[in-house]
Amino acid sequence: MSEIKVTINGVSVTGKSGSTILEIATENGIHIPTLCYDERVKLYGACGICTVEVEGIPKLLRACSAKATDGMIITTNSDRIKRSRKVALELLLSDHTGDCRGPCMLNCPAGTDCQEYVKLIGQGDYKGAVRVIKEKLPLPSSIGRVCPHPCEDACRRQMVEDPIAIAWLKSFAGDADLASDDTFRPDIEPDTGKKVAIIGGGPAGLTAAYFLRTMGHSVVILEAMPKMGGMLRYGIPQYRLPKDVVDKEVAEIESLGVEMKNNVRIGKDISFEEIQSSYDAVVVAIGAWTSSPMGIKGEELEGVYGGIDFLGKFALGETINVGEKVAVVGGGNTAMDACRTAVRLGAKEVYVFYRRTRAEMPAADIEIEEAQEEGVDFRFLTNPVEILSKDGKVSGVKVQKMELGEPDSSGRRRPVAVEGAFEDIELDSFIMAIGQYANTDGFDAIEKTGWGTISADEHSFRTSIDNVFAVGDATNNGADIAIAAIGEAHKAAIVINHFLDGADIPYKKPYYVKQEFTQEHFEDKPKQHRVKMPHISPEERKTNFEEIVLGFSEEEARKEASRCLDCGCHDYYDCKLIRYSNDCDVEPERFEGEKHERELIEINPKIEHNPDKCVLCGLCVRVCEEEVGKNVLGLLNRGFDSVVNPMFEDEQTQEFCTKCGKCVELCPTGALKLL
């Protein structure tokens, strides 16, 4: 067989005459995507993904079947080809149903693979679980304790009884790793010679530092406070997050070679301009440390605190005399932390004023319940209108009764004052925990939003200054939960890594296929209620700042992890369909129409077929016939209703089929699964 020369994407390559374009490209290390081709079976040309352009030929050719000829000039990635592939993929996806990833992961702002690390914990592989967690966030022990776990809000196990305790399992795995003699260490790329300064040592700053260091860059964190940790250290009380846990996780990051400098205030100890000119990239992750005022009379009085200020003062060891009667205004977790801290400081009467009802309260249910157990008096539909004083100090508060009116822009019913319904309540201290915002003093050079936050592009995280990026609570819409800041920081680290390499590649949210479920889908699942986290009793815990949860035992953790329904696709990392779909920025909703909803098919006791994931590439049928020689599988029905189905089910065939598995090996979409 003679040799021919062709040009592919401007590169001259050789191949054997009679070979297809795809074969020659593959032999020369040039990838052309395809779903239905494998060298072990005959050509099929079903998927339409491998199209290429050949100079002099007006139509696109399928590389898997088109023979190459000497002198051919071939293009594999033109705009025309990409459009063609995109349409082909969108048509395939129009009747493809399943879960690429579990809903827990999709609802996690950091994109943590909850399903995988929960599975590994169930198998007793705690270090493997930490490895999976740290692919997205470097603080599992801390975040597992304090995260309001949106992952659990999406957990389908609650359609059976209770969601999986995903957050507690995260902290369990993190704690097991910290207690070991061989803690997990990520691989670190060779040094790049690039220097990055991160301003702020909270969750976002620590996360950015962790990932940028693993990418081989020299990283320094500049933190204004005496210790690293940000709000994890200074905004969350010891009873929820022990500071030695924060210390250990910070030390793990430092051990990777991250330089940490404390007590460095921008604009005082060093100018922002000096930092910006001394480093290849700068990440601003300063958080939101200033409590929002209420704008009512008496806020300047002695005994009035902002929620974050109050918690920070206590964390710094400052003496705070709250007195015997304390009121906290607000409905979030900061308000819960403040009222429960006041209880532990000896207050006899602690109120929480919230102008809506319990149903609208954004704080975690467990935080509200535990505060009530500790004696906090919740006054719903109550709004302070004036802080009362005596001798320049807080003496009480005037509150107004509220009622709910029409929904506001957030969808919650707007609280409306009840005319003339006032009450005076005696107080010694008044804590405002209605929100927080960033203090951007010293960052005048960076463009701000209308809200006074740092303006940063939501996809590139770039600010108005070329080499300066910003993430977390100080940017755009302001304060959010810690896991959201961590998610931004991880994405930003990837973008910054490209930037330091000379490329401008913004973050792009991946496309995933999703499936909707109802309780009826899980009616056959036996009920196995959530393992309860052991707590210290309210009577004991409200007298001290010891951690109130005792943690899962290994047996409890593995039992809880075993409840996972394993929602995401088993073949996600090897799925060609989803990989190519993301490469082509698919929009399958353009071809929305009727979709099948079919039962799973048992090929044999060891192999399961999901026809709703199948794209009818034919690989399984062909490999069974052509390579294995068994003809176990075939196509049943015609057209839109075609489905891969077992053709022979005799005992001998079943036994052989159980040992083979080549059909599963070749499936490009995870439609076939080994049980």
Q: Do 420 and 447 lie in a common domain?
A: no
Instruction: Confirm whether 301 is domain-assigned.
Output: yes
Helix, strand, or coil (residue 657): helix
Please say which residue of 77, 110, 126 terminates a domain: 77
Overall pTM > 0.95: no
Strands 436-437 and 61-62: unpaired
Same domain for 424 and 295: yes
Among 482, 554, 529, CA closest to 172: 554
Q: Mark which of 462, 482, 500 sits at the end of a domain.
A: 500
Task: Tell me which DSSP letter residue 181 carries.
Answer: S
The two three-digit tokens of residue 57, written as one number:
């030929």
Q: For residues 146 and 149, give the distance between their C-alpha atoms in angstroms, rounded to a whole number.
A: 8
In a domain, 101, yes or no: no
Contact indicator for 636, 645 with CB cutoff of 8 Å: yes
For residue 36, the enclosing domain spans 3-77
In a domain, 266, yes or no: yes
In a domain, 603, yes or no: yes
Determine the Cα–Cα distance for residues 579 and 575; give it in Å rounded to an integer.
7
Find the radius of gyration of the CA atoms of the chain: 30
For the domain that residue 202 is a member of, what is the CATH number? 3.50.50.60
- The C-alpha atoms of residue 152 and residue 163 are separated, in whole angstroms, by 6
Residues 252 and 271 in one domain: yes
How crowded is residue 457: how many other Cβ atoms within 10 Å of its Cβ?
16
Q: Are residues 302 and 357 in the same domain?
A: yes
**pLDDT reported for residue 649:** 67
Regions of the chain with pLDDT less than 70: 1, 648-649
Q: What is the pLDDT of residue 55?
A: 96
Question: 476 and 387, same structural domain?
Answer: no
* pLDDT attached to residue 596: 85
Please check whether residue 516 lies inside any domain of the structure: no
How many independent structural domains does the chain possess? 4
At 413, which helix (H) or strand (E)? strand 413-426
Contact yes or no for 53/81 (Cβ under 8 A): yes
Cβ atoms of 326 and 347 within 8 Å: the answer is yes
The CB density around residue 181, as the number of other CB atoms within 10 Å, is 4
Residue 643's H or E segment, with its range, is: strand 643-646
- pLDDT, residue 409, reads 78
- CA-based end-to-end distance of the chain: 45
Spatial CA neighbour of 610 closest among 554, 650, 569:
569
The token pair that represents 261 in the structure block: 């400098």
Report strand pairing: 607-609 vs 601-604. Answer: antiparallel
Sign of the Cα torsion 598, 599, 601, 606 reads: positive
Same domain, 636 and 649: yes
Angstrom distance (rounded) from CA 442 to CA 224:
12
One domain for residues 256 and 333: no
Q: What is the CATH number of the domain that holds 14?
A: 3.10.20.740
Task: Identify the residue whose tokens are 């929960």.
Answer: 118
Residue 607 maps to a domain: yes
CATH number where 622 lies = 3.30.70.20
Is there a domain that residue 15 lies in? yes
Q: Are residues 396 and 317 in the same domain?
A: yes
- From 433, 454, 483, the end of a domain falls on 433
Q: Are residues 427 and 456 in the same domain?
A: no
- Residue 452 and residue 489 in one domain: yes
The DSSP secondary structure of 522-568, one letter per residue, reads GTTSPP-PPPPPPB--HHHHTTS-S-SB----HHHHHHHHTT----S
Same domain, residue pair 346 and 467: no
Please check whether residue 123 lies inside any domain of the structure: no
Same domain, 299 and 419: yes
If phi over 0 gives left and psi between -120 and 50 gives alpha, with beta otherwise, what is residue 211?
A: alpha
